[in-house]
Structure 1
């Protein structure tokens, strides 16, 4: 693959994944608007987000199986088409439950553009190029998450929140055409005769360590960012809502860390990359204990740098070590990832309510052990190879 072809592939992957993630968070900043428009409770309008997450959780493992059996182009075409149908339902919905139904449909087909795409790339690219492309993949999830919130909360409010679905739909359509024209031609051979079932993958110690790494890493990341507003509202800071929102802009750090982590992984190996990212996260958590604005800013920047380094390193390591079953492996990673985030937020909530911010940081430091285990496991497997 030439450098020009490599760049086109990276851009296509970046566009498709970011367009997909743009749709996931599109209603988050306008939940109060939805509450007023549909005369609903805050819990009911929050279903416009949780319905997407539920759809992803339900469909992720089945799509992981399909990714190992079917060519990627029909999967992407079907996934994008169904997500666009979901967008149309949202645009023309005249009651809240129609909107929630459209969002659930979108969530069901998100794995077609994420889990299946990652599995296809793992089967189609050599390890060095895979690390780079997966770095852009991770960055695209950041851009998409930010883009959806900006569309829903900043760009379209002067018009109407429904226009955000129009813009996101057009973006997804363009990205789909771009990816179908750019993805390398490859006929995927059925792998039904190889032991690549979910249980077989979970019995693989190195893979299980990486799955737990994703769970632990996202558990730390989601806990810190979920309870940060409470920390910054304490007397030590007494931040306003606007000031707290500004702190979240450090999230863009993930845009740059994905590709950088891919390059680092090529040079020093996935295991060392994971351990390096873990060290950065540990330093970040210690900074966040200091009751000073500069420490919070530095700590959040380091949290993003460390987390996205670990995330990109784990995804690259999983896909780099398999010759079959990539679809199932990516599906398991995503499942562990989101479950880990949910568990992390839940435990951190109990910890914060009882012992405050210090307890949240201590819990996060303990979760770093899952990251250390994955890094050590990867380095050991490299030496034994």
Structure 2
């Protein structure tokens, strides 16, 4: 194992490899498991750093004497900056290299989160979280490109699944671990401990990940090239609708989780931070639902499964409007499973509709995804402050109704395109 391997530029004259004949990493080999575990650590670190503040929102509101809506900015500023940087990071990696950019992003973001845990002022903490979001953009934008370049297509699905599993596990354990540590040590020590853990994950990532063998460092790709690529996708009839769907799905998902902590910590539940954190175990249902959704989409079509996922989310939101705690928990489980179903189908549909520059299309989808988390995640606080949980639930249902309408439209466009292609044949 190399302790500090470097990216290889296969376009270099010293490298005999033919770029037209990639050397794949085969499933079952030692290198395959190194790549899989490295990307698992990358997913874990990214999502635990990003969402570690979500269970802390009531604590932050109390510590800094801000409103619930203002406390949600600790997450929203990160996701908003991530949404912006993720679009640019993919382009930057074409010249800098995949592995190097991911490591730098992870390490600096972990250090930034560590600094944020000690900041005494609210606006300073928000600034640190904003910078953290910018830095984290270098991971999700590049990780899937690295996997698709290096892993044998026959084993790509499993490796990609481990990466996605790492993101889900990081999101879940980051929240639960933060709540548990906050209960005993306070939120500042909890945030610092998680930062150190993720810094170690970054070191493990760069130690495990093998040299890039199929990456070709590109030069001369100016702003015009990238703007034209993004413009083509935005002029597509179906892709912008999927970007809006990502905005709505993630916005509703984050809104419910953001303000569920305020709901359950108040009367009549009076739950502690540690008790509230157990709702994040609902992610386990989402991790199971995601691959199941992929199989159903292959058999039934993407449109019906995407609509079913959004309807499942809506059913979950409706259940949270009832007072019994058990019913609220079931509602959150349904919401989570429905979100993973819908998101997995929508993100896969982007790759099917984008016929070229797929990385640019994926970056636009992720932009919509994280902007939904930022805009709706914070905006729902306005409804919470005026109408309580009923306000949050009502705006969530309205957004999901729009998501379903957009999904039906994409399905209709796909059927029209398939029919036109058949008639030409």
TM-score by length of 1: 0.77
Find out whether 1:359 has 2:394 as its counterpart: yes
**SS of corresponding position for 2:104:** helix
Per-residue Cα deviation, 1:73-118 (whole angstroms, up to 9, x for no partner):
2322332343354356457768777665554433222111111223
Find out whether 1:240 has 2:266 as its counterpart: no
Report the counterpart of residue 4 of structure 1 in structure 2: 28
Q: Residues 254-293 of structure 1 correspond to what in structure 2 (within 5 A)?
A: 254-266=286-298, 268-288=300-320, 292-293=324-325
Report the counterpart of residue 257 of structure 2 in structure 1: 225
Distance in 1 separating the partners of 2:88 and 2:111: 20
Distance in 2 separating the partners of 1:188 and 1:372: 40
Find out whether 1:201 has 2:236 as its counterpart: no
Find out whether 1:337 has 2:346 as its counterpart: no
Report the counterpart of residue 133 of structure 2 in structure 1: 107
Find out whether 1:169 has 2:203 as its counterpart: no
Does structure 2 conserve the Cα–Cα contact (< 8 Å) formed by 1:265 and 1:313?
Answer: yes
**SS of corresponding position for 1:181:** coil
Distance in 2 separating the partners of 1:284 and 1:88: 35
- Unaligned 5+ segments in structure 1 are none
Does structure 1 conserve the Cα–Cα contact (< 8 Å) formed by 2:230 and 2:361?
Answer: yes
- Counterpart pick for 1:372 among 385, 408, 421: 408
- Unaligned 5+ segments in structure 2 are 1-24
TM-score by length of 2: 0.71
Q: After the TM superposition, which of the residue ranges 207-216 and 2-11 deviates more from structure 2?
A: 2-11
Does structure 2 conserve the Cα–Cα contact (< 8 Å) formed by 1:214 and 1:311?
Answer: yes
Does structure 1 conserve the Cα–Cα contact (< 8 Å) formed by 2:286 and 2:336?
Answer: yes
Per-residue Cα deviation, 1:170-221 (whole angstroms, up to 9, x for no partner):
122213333x228774336569469852222111122112111101211322
Does structure 2 conserve the Cα–Cα contact (< 8 Å) formed by 1:273 and 1:375?
Answer: no
Per-residue Cα deviation, 1:350-378 (whole angstroms, up to 9, x for no partner):
38835935634541442332333345545
Distance in 1 separating the partners of 2:264 and 2:119: 38
Higher-Rg structure is 2
Q: After the TM superposition, which of the residue ranges 209-218 and 279-288 deviates more from structure 2?
A: 279-288
Q: Residues 117-132 of structure 1 correspond to what in structure 2 (within 5 A)?
A: 117-121=143-147
- Count, aligned residues: 380
Over 3 Å counting, the alpha-carbon distance change for 1:131 and 1:333 in structure 2 is: farther
Over 3 Å counting, the alpha-carbon distance change for 1:348 and 1:86 in structure 2 is: closer
RMSD of Structure 2 on Structure 1 (CA): 4.1
Does structure 2 conserve the Cα–Cα contact (< 8 Å) formed by 1:12 and 1:175?
Answer: yes
Does structure 2 conserve the Cα–Cα contact (< 8 Å) formed by 1:55 and 1:105?
Answer: yes
**SS of corresponding position for 1:60:** helix
